[in-house]
Amino acid sequence: MYTILGIGELLWDMLPEGPQLGGAPANYSVMAGRMGNHATVLSRIGRDGLGERALEMLRPFPVDCTRLQVDPEQATGRVTVKLEDGQPSYTIHQPVAWDFFELTKSWLNEAAQADAVCFGSLAQRSEQSRQTIHALVKATRPQCQRIFDVNLRAPFYSAEIVRESLELASVMKMNDAEVQLVLDLLGFPTAASLRGGAERLLEHFTGLALVAITRGGTGSLLVGRSEWNEHPGIPIKVADTIGAGDAFTAAMTHYLLRGASLSVLNEAGNRWGSYVASQSGAMPEIGPETLQRITREIEG
């Protein structure tokens, strides 16, 4: 069993049909736990009704919530979500509890024992949380997989956040719409292709070993230093795409830690990402039969 940390925002997506628990690191950690890892979410909630409700919602999932910080003053994070043709747009409220991470001994101990950590750009919008996240990633062991899930949400990103995160990361994940934006932020020339953009990042950031680019319903591209792999995607009827990218990242991490090939990583990411997109919400029910079926489809 591998130890995996999701570091960053824990929040409620305020959907038209009602609030649903989410936040990329929480979605990621829940999926990593469902696949059989020891998954822990490192975030901060408020001492309020939404914070209590978040703990109640997470309790049935195979994810360790004992390291969640509770802020005595700030509210639990909220995002107002509007859906158009299944695609979400977001209003991310601030300030909230996850803008005020504290670098505690218990968090540093978690980082020191982790086999993989996943962190994004959104929770770095405040200087305090940004410094805490960077310190945690730096506290990991050399063999730890350090996954930077770009997850750009305007206006909460900058060239500095992206550059410093890439300097810490061994794996980078983004969607196809973010590739050119990242290159522009970093002052790199326009890439002729998604693969070319990935190769440019690998060339510049020597600690990177893998760049993963998701393409919605048309699959994904994984580019390593000596090989690359393309996946056409899994045809589905989309319910909504909230959490699908996080499921992709968690599945990719699961098989990366087990030394799987790029083709298996790609298959795993697309199988689980498409399943979540076919369901409502970021943490849909996954019964034992579904888990076993998708695992068989991935592993043959």
pLDDT over threshold 80, residue 88: no
Q: How confident is the model at residue 14 (pLDDT cuts 50, 70, 90)?
A: confident
pLDDT over threshold 90, residue 60: yes
Cβ count near 132 (within 10 Å): 24
Residue 282's pLDDT is 86
Residue 82 vs residue 58, higher pLDDT: 58
pLDDT over threshold 80, residue 84: no
Q: How far apart are CA 2 and CA 116, in angstroms?
A: 8
Domain boundaries, the chain: 3-299
DSSP state of 159: H
Q: How far apart are CA 284 and CA 51, in angstroms?
A: 20
Mean pLDDT score of the chain, rounded to an integer? 95
**Residue 85 C-beta-side C-alpha neighbours within 13 Å:** 0
DSSP state of 241: -
Q: Each residue of 278-296: pLDDT tens digit?
A: 998 889 999 999 999 999 9
Q: What is the pTM (predicted TM-score) of this model?
A: 0.95
Burial 220-255 (b: 16+ CB within 10 A, else e): bbbbbeeebbbbebbeeeebbbbbbbbbbbbbbbbb
Q: What tokens were used for 39? A: 């998954």
Residue 229's pLDDT is 98
Q: What distance, in Å, lies between the first and last C-alpha atoms of the chain?
A: 21
Burial label, 296 (beta-carbon count in 10 A; 0-12, 13-18, 19+): exposed
**Residue 150 C-beta-side C-alpha neighbours within 13 Å:** 25
CATH topology for the 3-299 domain: UDP-N-acetylmuramoyl-L-alanine:D-glutamate ligase (3.40.1190)
Q: Each residue of 90-139: pLDDT tens digit?
A: 789 999 999 999 999 999 999 999 999 999 999 999 999 999 999 999 99
DSSP state of 46: E
Q: How confident is the model at residue 300 (pLDDT cuts 50, 70, 90)?
A: confident
Say if CB 218 and CB 262 are below 8 A apart. Answer: no
Residue 248 vs residue 83, higher pLDDT: 248
pLDDT over threshold 90, residue 15: no
